[in-house]
A and B are shown apart, each in its own frame.
Chain A
């Protein structure tokens, strides 16, 4: 019998409150091109594959990058490149338990089933839980953000800033590097996007996993130069910007990271990265309103 009960912001919240009912799924026989279209249209990071309407597997953007790397034709069935089995939970399971299952299995999403285990009724993704945390923290009367604002009489300078939370380690590839090098860089460091530098060492663009699967879909050869498909210019926020402003930018643009410039030098000089998960960890882990309200970031 444990004497100490750990309480977090998610204590008592069931998966049903964080899940999305829309599940992007396709038959395992559908081709890679269809899978990519579904991911783009629904802004999904993975597609559930079914066999005779029964959940059969999951294919993620990372799996598709592997297929692109191996130059597998986009007419190939998704079932041939799927990475893992779907992991399921129930809507009345707790969000905390769902996060633990995700960590143990090394996945970012769980599928939610009802009494019939073959019928998927929703999906709960790590990013959705972060979004839920953001909403709870924002609404919390006892939270750090509210208190700081109250004590400073509404002065926004007392609020959290991007520089307090960002990571200063920035990885990049050259604009002449091949997409193969970019894929290797993204997968080895488990990143969602990488900065692209020109020969003058200025950051000129960004390539995300989504950019790469679009290139795969459009038939761009993996040996092509990064400069051909990068998104340009780099959208960056100043290090002095309010954390809440940066979070809004991420949610509006549907990205899970923002690059940060120091404001003193030119905007092309990137000094850090702000990930949605960094922001979530900081908000929950540093706030005394939730005892041990720490969201483990993986």
Chain B
């Protein structure tokens, strides 16, 4: 029950130089391939080394206007148009400008129990699996939960 036994080895990555528009396209493409919503992606450099993570939350946080509380009181502002205007002004921002660089990672031989503990304590939903500085997989909280669920079901039987 080590990370290598239940990690996803098919994963999608972003490049630090991609801009916000390319990020949206990459998230859409990854979700279509995986046939499920992808909420976060690893950022790797030209040598496939992990340099950061970018989640949908990070992007949303950046897209949101800072004084959003005032919008509710502006009855003469069309929120759709306001959002469109915002997207046109932020498109020059790159992945490297807003990604999280302080990333918690695990090794292929990290135990399920340790991974579950990290996810609970640090509120992390996905953990990159790194072997010799290279990304070899990713563990989602659903992988951990499914593995534990399978163990319980097998014991019952």
The residues of A with any CB-CB pair to B shorter than 8 Å are 33-34, 36-37, 40-43, 131, 134-135, 138-139, 214, 217-218, 231, 248, 251-254
Which residues in window 56-113 of B have CB below 8 A to A? 58, 61-62, 65-67, 69-71, 73-74, 76-77, 82, 85-86, 89, 92-94, 96-99, 101-102
The DSSP consensus for interface residues of chain A is helix
Give chain A residues whose Cβ lies under 8 Å from the Cβ of B58: 41
Q: Find out whether the CB atom of B73 lies under 8 angstroms from the CB atom of A135.
A: yes
Q: Find out whether the CB atom of B70 lies under 8 angstroms from the CB atom of A131.
A: yes
The 8 Å CB contact of B62, one of A33, A34, A40, is A40
The residues of B with any CB-CB pair to A shorter than 8 Å are 58, 61-62, 65-67, 69-71, 73-74, 76-77, 82, 85-86, 89, 92-94, 96-99, 101-102
Q: Find out whether the CB atom of B70 lies under 8 angstroms from the CB atom of A37.
A: no
Min CB–CB distance B88 → chain A (angstroms): 10
Question: Given known contacts A41-B58, A139-B73, is B97 in contact with A254 (CB within 8 Å)?
Answer: no
Question: Given known contacts A135-B70, A135-B73, is B61 in contact with A252 (CB within 8 Å)?
Answer: no
The CA-CA distance from A248 to B97 in the complex, in Å, is: 26
Q: Find out whether the CB atom of A252 lies under 8 angstroms from the CB atom of B77.
A: yes
Give chain B residues whose Cβ lies under 8 Å from the Cβ of A252: 65, 77, 82, 85-86
Question: Given known contacts A41-B61, A138-B73, A253-B86, is B67 in contact with A131 (CB within 8 Å)?
Answer: yes
The CA-CA distance from A220 to B66 in the complex, in Å, is: 27
Give chain B residues whose Cβ lies under 8 Å from the Cβ of A217: 96-97
A-B CB proximity, top 7 nearest: A41-B98, A251-B67, A43-B66, A252-B82, A254-B66, A40-B97, A131-B67
The CA-CA distance from A151 to B86 in the complex, in Å, is: 35
Min CB–CB distance B58 → chain A (angstroms): 6
Give chain A residues whose Cβ lies under 8 Å from the Cβ of B61: 41-42
What are 21 of the A-B contact pairs (CB < 8 Å)? A33-B101, A34-B102, A37-B99, A40-B62, A40-B97, A41-B58, A41-B97, A42-B61, A43-B62, A131-B69, A135-B70, A135-B73, A218-B94, A218-B96, A231-B92, A248-B77, A252-B77, A252-B82, A253-B89, A254-B65, A254-B66
Q: Other CB < 8 Å A-B pairs besides A34-B101, A43-B66, A248-B77, 18 of them?
A: A34-B102, A37-B98, A40-B62, A131-B67, A131-B69, A131-B70, A134-B70, A135-B73, A139-B73, A214-B97, A217-B96, A218-B94, A248-B76, A251-B67, A251-B70, A252-B85, A253-B65, A253-B85
